Amino acid sequence: MKTVYGVIGDPIEHSLSPVMHNAAFRHLGMDCVYYAFRVTLEDVRDAILGAKALGFGGLNVTIPLKERALEIVNADPIAEEIGAINTIDFKDGIIGYNTDGIGAKRALKKHNISVKDKRVLLLGAGGAARAIAFQLAHDGAGLIIVNRTAPRAVKLAQDVRGVGDAIGTDMGDLATLVKKVDILINSTSVGMHPDVDKTLVTADMMHPDLVVFDIVYNPIETCLLKEARKAGALTIDGVNMLVHQGAESFRIWTGREAPVKVMEDAVRCALKR
């Protein structure tokens, strides 16, 4: 009997997680299939409990459900600390994990970027931002978290200071902050399809020694990354994080190492189409 996996979120039509995971299942000859399901905040509890009852192998959780879903699962310590989940495993109950931080860390490592003692400007304070902030703080980065609404950034920074160095503020002084940091990470949805012409930071605000990492993966080259190239900065696209967080979810569900290159090739091929 085929094992079903899936991703829940709202909106969900843009997700390439099905492309990525189904490519992995085919490559490894596993009798599994992965679908995307549109689920609202109001229905997330029913969706998770229903997936468990129907015998799903696991779920991914995306915007805007990551924090609400935490209330429904038994979270592992890292996800509990972060305050958001993106992966649910049903083998032994309903266990929630967060692989976003690991995905970001591995994406940076792939490009030989170490965050230890680096100044990192993190745009956004949502579920993905929480995971990235905790991971990078654990790894020795000094974080400046900025958000459209300052209280949310300040709260996240306060939480992160339990494990590392972080401050939170609004976006009012963004141009000055960008010039003071080594790494810029966009964890917001700004620039995501269909609003591909939007960016929070432009080339004139950047410097050539900057590393610019956008977790948005559709389009592959966001407006932010185009601006970074103009400034001579090193760029890292969102496919890197998508694939590495997905590979960790795959390992949690199946106990097998994911075919990372197969997954990445499938995503990049789909995006080119």
Catalytic residues: 66
Which residues share a beta bridge with 8?
Answer: 37, 61
Task: Check: CB of residue 246 under 8 Å from CB of residue 258.
Answer: yes
Long-range contacts of 40-49 (CB under 8 A, 24+ apart): 40/10, 41/10, 41/65, 41/68, 44/8, 44/68, 44/69, 44/72, 45/72, 47/8, 48/8, 48/72, 48/73, 48/88, 48/94, 49/94
- Lookup result for tokens 């899936």: 6
Contact status, residue 36 vs residue 19, Cβ threshold 8 Å: no
Structure tokens given for 88: 């649910």
In contact, 131 and 153? CB cutoff 8 Å: no
On whether the CB atoms of residues 128 and 105 are closer than 8 A, the answer is no
Beta carbons within 10 angstroms of residue 240's beta carbon: 23
Residue 142 tokens, joined: 């000094």
Cα(200)–Cα(196) distance, integer angstroms: 12
What is the β-pairing status of strands 87-89 and 58-61? antiparallel
